[in-house]
Chain A
Amino acid sequence: MTALVSIDHVSHSFGPTKVLDDVSLHLAPDSYTVLLGPSGSGKTTLLSILGGFLNPEQGRVMIRGQDCTAMAPAKRPTATVFQDYALFPHMTIGGNVGFGLRMKGVAKAERDAKARAMLDVVGLAAAFERKPHQLSGGQRQRVALARALIVEPAVLLLDEPLGALDLKLRRQMQDELKAIQKRVGTAFIHVTHDQEEAMALADHVVVMNHGHIEDQGAPERVYARPATRFTATFMGESTIVTGQVANGMIETPLGRFPAPPDATQVAIRPEHVSLGGPIHGEVSDVVYQGAFRRVTARVNGIDLLARLPAETMLSTGQRVSLGIDPAHAIVLKA
């Protein structure tokens, strides 16, 4: 397999803290990869290592078959979109976008033409003569994107690019990022702690925790069949119960589910819990969320989370019968 990016056994520490612990990752060309994890999971460190801003203590980074482990950022085929955009405040937008070409010695007329074309790609053709401080956050974001894409990197690295935007703009920029990625065909590696953002954008999601990779794959797979307990809790909500396996079934306080012999826990997504069924409990919390009701029921000493239709009339303290779709129960190993 010819991976575009290969990270082999990379480890790195800041002082006594091991932020990356033997991480290996292989990414396909043209893909949109999202590194997802809580703060301190090592995702940003991994991105810095890919961008060349940090040399890993151990391990190797190959990009397009070239060993880039100790290569300077200027030399490697990556470009970074920084969280704070890091636009050059004293240059026009055109100057910002054309900077990478200027460093390559491209003549002014040609780089201006290319900068205009790239600004057009991100929908900011009119801003060429303006200065960064005259633009809104979302517009600056697009300029940062255009500035990084113009050097035609093999990999575009995005460090929490939507972190500074408000929710509405964020969702809108998500769609645009995805569309731009498909249009230019460059591989994007995007760091975020927002699992909704990860699911919306990623072709390939990599869940990180405590400096190692917990799980990776298509977002649908990672959500529906998370490999670890951490993934099950970080990618969406779930109720986790422990149980004992006997005769191919795991016995839990919420019922019996088919399971392999080494299973220890079962995670239940709230949307797979429905009204009416063999599980009896008492409602302990109801939150109206518009499209649905988020109900917590106390069942055999377990708080079972359920996503029920908005028209369901339940109140705290009420007895309720619930059912779990066994096909969707997520069986976890130790």
Chain B
Amino acid sequence: MTRAIAVAYALLLYGFIFLPVAVLVLFSFQGTLFPIPPFNGPSLRWYTAVLGDARLTAGLGNSVVVALISSAVATLLGFLSAWGFARFHLPASAFLRGLITLPLTVSYLIIGMGLLIFFNWIGLPKSLLAAGIGHVVINLPLCFAIIYSQMGDHQANIERAARDLGAGEMKVLLLITAPMMWPALFASFFLSMTFSWDEFVISFLLTRFETTLPVEIWNLLRAGLNPKTNAVGAMVFGVSIILAIIFELTAFRKRPQ
């Protein structure tokens, strides 16, 4: 009896989470003009329509470029700051570490508005570059937290051994620390990719003519529901899933030793 209730509860819970996505994906294969029941597919006509839409494919390309570059920059900066905090005695270290991770608690809307005002002030126009910088701002704290948590004293000793054998600081970072931290760097990079790929608010506020895929989807939605939005949504979701799986595999893989 209790078991049946537990199963029912689990089904309800997962249904609550996944049903909307399942419906979205299902009706992306709709054969007719409207994404409403009855389902009369499967058909790939809306996927063909998406791939034939110059604005959407451009948005897709922009999203990929912004995600790749902003994630690489956020990972690099997160790595360097984590290394600095882990290896050197800095004044007010705990306070400064808190300050680095603080943006995690601030809403994207506030960060986006702040950046908008700041970029306006320094004369940086709305662009993919501005959105990319915004993505670095939201992802850097996360990269820092992941990488910092993986930096232990054991690795400090390994770096010391490399210095003892004649390695300069640059070589220690490149040949020892970065390869040793590879799983954490990889995980940070893919988590950043996931967030940048899905991010709407900052991209919406900071781009104008060229924009990312989520903003293009929003433009499409303003014209009303259409199976094309389902198709492009399903594609975005698919990419997110792949990135999340890569992140899980790298972050939670059991490491030897």
A residues adjacent to B (C-beta < 8 A): 51-53, 72-74, 78-80, 82, 84, 86-90, 99-100, 103-104, 131-133, 147-148, 151
Query: A79 to B164, Cβ gap below 8 A?
Result: yes
Query: B157 to A86, Cβ gap below 8 A?
Result: yes
The SS class assigned to the B binding surface is helix
CA distance A252 to B21 in the complex (A): 92
Q: Is B160 an interface residue (CB 8 A)?
A: yes
B156-174: which residues lie under 8 A (CB-CB) from chain A? 157-158, 160-168, 171
Query: B168 to A74, Cβ gap below 8 A?
Result: yes
The closest CB in chain B to the CB of A140 belongs to B257
Query: A104 to B179, Cβ gap below 8 A?
Result: no
Q: Is B180 an interface residue (CB 8 A)?
A: yes
Query: A100 to B165, Cβ gap below 8 A?
Result: yes
Query: A74 to B180, Cβ gap below 8 A?
Result: no
Q: How far is the CB of A151 from chain B (nearest CB, A)?
A: 6
Residues of B within 8 A of A51 (CB): 164
Residues of A within 8 A of B154 (CB): 84, 86
Query: B256 to A74, Cβ gap below 8 A?
Result: no
Residues of B within 8 A of A100 (CB): 165-166
Q: Is B176 an interface residue (CB 8 A)?
A: yes
User: Given known contacts A74-B168, A79-B165, what 16 new A-B pairs fall within 8 Å (CB)?
Assistant: A52-B164, A53-B160, A74-B166, A80-B161, A84-B154, A84-B157, A86-B160, A88-B158, A88-B180, A90-B182, A99-B162, A100-B165, A103-B167, A133-B257, A147-B165, A151-B166
Query: A103 to B180, Cβ gap below 8 A?
Result: no
CA distance A202 to B103 in the complex (A): 57
Count of A-B contacts judged by CB separation below 8 Å: 64
CA distance A87 to B257 in the complex (A): 11
Residues of B within 8 A of A147 (CB): 161, 165
Residues of B within 8 A of A89 (CB): 158, 180, 256-257
Query: A82 to B163, Cβ gap below 8 A?
Result: no
Query: B162 to A82, Cβ gap below 8 A?
Result: no
Query: B164 to A103, Cβ gap below 8 A?
Result: no
Residues of B within 8 A of A131 (CB): 256
Given A74-B168, A133-B256, check contact A88 B162 (CB 8 Å).
yes
* Candidates A52, A53, A79, A86; contact of B158 at CB < 8 Å: A86
B162-201: which residues lie under 8 A (CB-CB) from chain A? 162-168, 171, 176, 179-180, 182
Residues of B within 8 A of A104 (CB): 166
Q: How far is the CB of A176 from chain B (nearest CB, A)?
A: 21
CA distance A82 to B257 in the complex (A): 17
- Quick one: CB contact mask for B235-257 with A, threshold 8 Å, 1 for yes? 00000000000000000000011
The closest CB in chain B to the CB of A75 belongs to B166
Query: B157 to A73, Cβ gap below 8 A?
Result: no
Residues of B within 8 A of A52 (CB): 164
**Most A CB atoms within 10 A — which of B160, B161, B166, B180?**
B161
Query: A103 to B256, Cβ gap below 8 A?
Result: no
- Quick one: CB contact mask for B143-163 with A, threshold 8 Å, 1 for yes? 000000000001001101111
7 A-B pairs closest in CB distance: A103-B166, A100-B165, A133-B257, A86-B161, A133-B256, A90-B179, A86-B157
CA distance A80 to B164 in the complex (A): 7
CA distance A103 to B164 in the complex (A): 10
* Candidates B163, B164, B166, B176; contact of A88 at CB < 8 Å: B176
The closest CB in chain B to the CB of A105 belongs to B166
* Candidates A74, A84, A90, A133; contact of B164 at CB < 8 Å: A74
CA distance A82 to B154 in the complex (A): 11
A-B contact pairs, 14 of them (CB 8 A): A51-B164, A73-B160, A74-B164, A74-B165, A79-B165, A80-B160, A82-B157, A86-B158, A89-B158, A90-B182, A99-B165, A103-B167, A147-B161, A151-B166
